[in-house]
Structure 1
Amino acid sequence: MTPNTTPPSQHQTTHSPGPPRGPAITVPAHPQWPVLEASEKAELIAHIRTLMAREKAVLVAHYYTDGDLQALAEDSGGLVADSLEMARFGTETSAETLIVCGVRFMGETAKILNPEKRVLMPSLAATCSLDEGCPADAFSAFCDAHPERQVVVYANTSAAVKARSDWVVTSSIALPIIKHLHAQGEKILWAPDKHLGHYVQRVTGADMLLWDGACVVHEEFKGFALERMRRLHPDAAVLVHPESPDEVVNQADVIGSTTQLIRAVVDRPEQEFIVATDAGIFWKMQQLAPGKKLIPAPTAGEGATCESCAHCPWMAMNALQNLAQVLERGDQDIQIPEDIRVRAVQPIQRMLEFARERGIGGSARSDN
C-alpha cells in the first residue's frame, strides 16, 4: 500500500487568531431505539409507505443514516446520497413533501431550494457539531473583519451562515471550486471544518483563512491507531474522508466524499478496506460490493475503550419509529425566515450551477 504523501503547498494555511471555535458542544448519547422483530419492522414500513402516499412525500436519506432508512428511501422511489446529491434531488422531484433523513442543515438546504414544498425531518434536534460550532453572529463578525476574501462555507452550516457566504460547498465539490477561485486570484475565508479546509488548501495552494471547527466523528480517528491497523491488514486500502485530521489523511489511498469513498470500494481491486468515516456508510458499500471486507478505522485515544465507534449521534436520531411519527403528526417541518432564505439560496445555486457546468456529482451506484 502506498499512503498519500501529497507535499504541503508553498502557501501556508492561515489559521485565524480571532474567531472562537464557538460555544461548547454537548454531544448527545446515541439514542437507543427498540429492536423490532421482522414482522414488526415490515408492518411499520408498510405503515410509513401508506403515510408517504397520503402526504405525497418522497424520502431522501444520507449515507450515514440507518440502513433501514436507506433501504426504504431506495425502495420507495426516493434517494440515498451525499449532501450534494440530496440538494439536487429536492429540486428535481415533483413530490409535495420532502422527508429528509439526515441532520438539520440538510433539511434546511432542501427548504432553501424548495420554499414551496413542505420539508419534514424525523427529528429537528438532529444537528451537527460543525453547524453548532459556527454561530452566525460570530461568523458574520469574522467575515466583516476580512472583507477582501471570498467567503466559502461547507454545507454543514446553518441557513444564516450560508446567507453570509459567497459560495457553499460539499466535500465532493470543495476542491474544484477552491481551485477555480484560486485560479482567479481570490483569497478565501473558509468555515467551519479546519481539517477539510487544510486539506483543500494543501492540494490547491490557495490562500485560506480557516475557522476553527471540526466534526466530532472524524476528529476522533487517530493516526497512530490507523498505523497499527494497517500493519494488521497490509493488503487493505485506506479510505479517508477529508474531515479527518492530517495524520489520518496522510495515510490514505483514497481521500474523498462519501460518494467517492463508496465508488472506491466498488472500483478498486483490493478486497479489504479500512474506512475512516461514519460507519453508516457501510450499508451502501456492502450493498454495492458484497464480497469485499470493510474494516472501521480506529477511533481509540489514550485510555479510550472504543476502538471503532465512529457514528454520528445526531444521524442516529433518525429511525423508522420517529419517521412514522412525523408523518402521522405532520410536524417537525423546517421553517426558515424568508430574508435569510433568499440570501442563502444564492451561494447554493452557485454551487449547483458550477457542478452542472462541469459534470460534477452523480450517484454512487456502479451503473452510473
Structure 2
Amino acid sequence: MKNGAGENLADVRIPLVKVPAHPVRLELPGPEKDALKDRIRTMLRQQNAVLVAHYYTDGDLQDLAEETGGCVADSLEMARFGTEHPAQILVVAGVRFMGETSKILNNEKRVLMPDLAATCSLDEGCPIGLFSDFCDRHPDHTVVVYANTSAEVKARSHWVVTSGIALPVVKHLAEKGEKILWGPDRHLGRYVQQLTGVEMILWPGSCVVHEEFKADALIQLRKLHPQAAVLVHPESPQEVVDQADVVGSTTALIQAVQRLPNKEFIVATDAGIFNKMRQLAPDKILLGAPIAGEGATCESCARCPWMEMNTLEKLAIALEAGAGEIEVAPELAAKARIPIQRMLDFAKTLKK
C-alpha cells in the first residue's frame, strides 16, 4: 500500500517494540574506573580476546577497544575486523544483531557480549515468522535486508546491506531488472528509493532513536546556528533528511566532520558518535539534533537504550565468567553468511 508520503509500505502489522528505560548510570570514581579498565585489559590479554565496539556505545568502551588493539566501527566492520584478527574470542560491545553478525562471519570463534538483552527496535520489529510469510507472498522479489536484523532474517534474504552500500546495491539489482522487497527500516528504504528511482516494497519498521528527531525543532536550531552543517543518518524521518547537508552512514558522518570546513555541526544520529567525532576533529563544535518538539515522546533521547546496556562492569563479568556468549547454529550461520558475503564481494568490485 502507498502511504501519504508515497512510500510503498508492506501491509503488515508489526509487533509493538517495548523500549526499555534508559539505565541509571552511576559514574565510577576515577581510581575505581582505572582499576576496572586495567583488569579488563589483563583479561583480554590472558584470554586471547579482542574488544570491538560500535560508535554508539559509551565512550569508555570505545576508548578501551582502541587502547587494547580492538576497533570502533559500524556493525559490519566490527564483524570483518574479527575475521582478520588472530584473537579466538571476540567481545562485541553493541547490540545483539552485531554479536550475531560477528558469529556468522567467525563461526569458529567464541563471541561474547556484555549484555545479551541489548537488542534493537529494527530487529525486534521484524520477526522471522512475519517477515518470511511476507516474502513468500512476493516470490518474484529480491529480498534486501539492512544489517540491523536477526540471523534468521538474514538467512531468509538474498542480500544484506549497510546504509553505506545500500544505494549501489539497489541500483545494481534494478539494472538487472529485479524487483525489490526491502526491510526493515522504512526511512532508509524510502531514502534509497528516492535516490535510485527504484520502486520497492518497504517493511514498516523504524529505529526508535532516529524516529525521534523533530523537523520543526531542527528548523529553529538551524536559525540559531546558521553556519552549522546538518549531518543526518538516513534512518531519520523524511522531514529531517530534507534539511541535511550530508546524509550518510555513521562512517560517512564522521568523515564529514573531518572534511567539511564548517566550525559547527548539527548531528542527527545517536549521540554516542560524538566520542569518535571529537577524537578526530577536536576543534569542531557538535550539537545534537533536537528530539524535543511537537510530537516528541523522548523514549530514545538520541541515545539507544539498548546500546547503553553495555558497561565496563558488564564487560568485566562477561570476561570473568564467560557470560553473554552468542550462539548461532552452524546451518543457520552458513545460510546467513551467503547474503553477507554477496555484499562483501560486491563492495570489492566497487573499489576496483
Matches for 1:211-290 after TM superposition, within 5 Å: 211-290=203-282
The count of aligned residue pairs is: 347
Query: Partners of 2:243 and 2:102 in 1: how far apart?
Result: 35
Query: Partners of 2:336 and 2:292 in 1: how far apart?
Result: 38
- Secondary structure of the residue aligned to 1:26 is coil
- Secondary structure of the residue aligned to 1:15 is coil
- Residue in 2 that maps onto 1:14: 8
Please state how far the C-alpha of 1:359 moved relative to its aligned partner: 2.5
1:172 and 2:164 matched:
yes
Change in 2 beyond 3 A, CA 1:307/1:112: closer
Query: Partners of 1:210 and 1:309 in 2: how far apart?
Result: 26
Structure 1-normalised TM-score?
0.92
Please state how far the C-alpha of 1:33 moved relative to its aligned partner: 2.8
- Residue in 1 that maps onto 2:95: 103
Please state how far the C-alpha of 1:341 moved relative to its aligned partner: 1.2
Letter of the structure 2 residue corresponding to residue 177 of structure 1: V
- Secondary structure of the residue aligned to 2:83 is helix
- Residue in 2 that maps onto 1:366: none
Query: Partners of 2:302 and 2:159 in 1: how far apart?
Result: 29
Query: Partners of 2:124 and 2:297 in 1: how far apart?
Result: 27
Matches for 1:45-84 after TM superposition, within 5 Å: 45-84=37-76
- Residue in 1 that maps onto 2:3: none
Please state how far the C-alpha of 1:331 moved relative to its aligned partner: 1.5
Letter of the structure 2 residue corresponding to residue 15 of structure 1: L
Query: Partners of 1:23 and 1:301 in 2: how far apart?
Result: 26
Moved more, 301-310 or 268-277: 301-310
1:117 and 2:124 matched:
no
Q: Does the 8 Å CA contact 2:144/2:181 hold for their aligned counterparts?
A: yes
- Residue in 1 that maps onto 2:179: 187
1:328 and 2:320 matched:
yes
Moved more, 309-318 or 299-308: 299-308
Please state how far the C-alpha of 1:303 moved relative to its aligned partner: 6.8
Change in 2 beyond 3 A, CA 1:305/1:218: closer
Structure 1 unaligned regions, length at least 5:
1-11, 361-368
Letter of the structure 1 residue corresponding to residue 99 of structure 2: G
- Residue in 1 that maps onto 2:135: 143
Query: Partners of 1:32 and 1:14 in 2: how far apart?
Result: 40
- Secondary structure of the residue aligned to 2:101 is helix
Match of 2:350 among 336, 344, 358: 358
Query: Partners of 2:131 and 2:237 in 1: how far apart?
Result: 23
Query: Partners of 2:326 and 2:295 in 1: how far apart?
Result: 41
Q: Does the 8 Å CA contact 2:103/2:110 hold for their aligned counterparts?
A: yes
Q: Does the 8 Å CA contact 1:84/1:172 hold for their aligned counterparts?
A: no
Q: Does the 8 Å CA contact 1:274/1:295 hold for their aligned counterparts?
A: yes
- Residue in 1 that maps onto 2:154: 162
Query: Partners of 1:166 and 1:337 in 2: how far apart?
Result: 19
- Residue in 1 that maps onto 2:285: 293
Matches for 1:26-41 after TM superposition, within 5 Å: 26-41=18-33
Structure 2 unaligned regions, length at least 5:
1-5
Deviating runs (4+, > 6 A) in structure 1?
none
Matches for 1:197-208 after TM superposition, within 5 Å: 197-208=189-200
Q: Does the 8 Å CA contact 1:219/1:245 hold for their aligned counterparts?
A: yes
Letter of the structure 2 residue corresponding to residue 318 of structure 1: N
Structure 2-normalised TM-score?
0.96
Query: Partners of 1:165 and 1:239 in 2: how far apart?
Result: 30
User: What is the CA deviation profile of residues 157-212 of structure 1, one whole-angstrom value per residue up to 9, with x for unaligned ones?
Assistant: 00000000000001111111111111111111000000000000000111210000
Query: Partners of 1:249 and 1:303 in 2: how far apart?
Result: 17
Query: Partners of 1:175 and 1:124 in 2: how far apart?
Result: 31
Q: Does the 8 Å CA contact 1:298/1:308 hold for their aligned counterparts?
A: no
Letter of the structure 2 residue corresponding to residue 36 of structure 1: L
Change in 2 beyond 3 A, CA 1:307/1:233: farther
Q: Does the 8 Å CA contact 2:19/2:299 hold for their aligned counterparts?
A: no
User: What is the CA deviation profile of residues 133-180 of structure 1, one whole-angstrom value per residue up to 9, with x for unaligned ones?
Assistant: 000000000000001111000000000000000000011111111111
Please state how far the C-alpha of 1:84 moved relative to its aligned partner: 2.5
Sequence identity (%): 65
